[in-house]
Amino acid sequence: MPEGIILGSDHAGFDLKEKVKKALDRLGVPYEDVGAQSTESVDYSDYAHRVAEAVEKGRYARGIVLCGTGLGVSMAANRHPGVRAAVAYDEETARLSREHNDANVLALGGRSLDHGLAERILEVWLKTPFAGGRHARRVAKIEPGTTDPR
């Protein structure tokens, strides 16, 4: 599995995606950008599915999806087995999405988040490990048909 992050956005998330890429460069995190490549109108679900499929198939351990609010891309990404996309709107939700929910896809809103705050969210999300323990049991139950792994 390649190290790094796969990321994709629609037109509304494009500007923030470009800032996220600069932050990833600064942090030394390699990435693959699957589009969009401009602010020309496109369908958010196309890009969310590209990212989520790469995480689902194990080509990447983590991804980032962006649209106007983060909501649409998270809904589309979460249709993929094994993908746990979380919309983070502050550092605390980013931390908890990793620590308690083992989120493997971060969803950000290019029109609803201050871009400086989005960069801080990204850093917290990247640096926070999954706590495991009782949370592992809960995460295991997210997929339909799964039960307590103990």
How far is it, in rounded angstroms, from Cα 53 to Cα 148?
26
In sequence order, what DSSP letters do the residues of 99-134 get, joined into one string?
HTT---EEEEETTTS-HHHHHHHHHHHHHPPP--TH
The span from the CA of 87 to the CA of 46, in Å, is 18
Q: Is 80 a catalytic residue?
A: no
Catalytic annotation, pick one of 11, 100, 115, 135: 100
Q: Where are the beta strands (DSSP E) in 1-141?
A: 5-9, 31-33, 62-67, 85-87, 105-109
Q: Which of 49, 67, 115, 135 is catalytic?
A: 67
Inter-CA distances, 100 with 38, 97, 139, Å: 35, 6, 8
Dist CA 76 CA 21 (whole Å): 22
Q: Is residue 67 annotated as a catalytic residue, yes or no?
A: yes
Catalytic residues: 67, 100
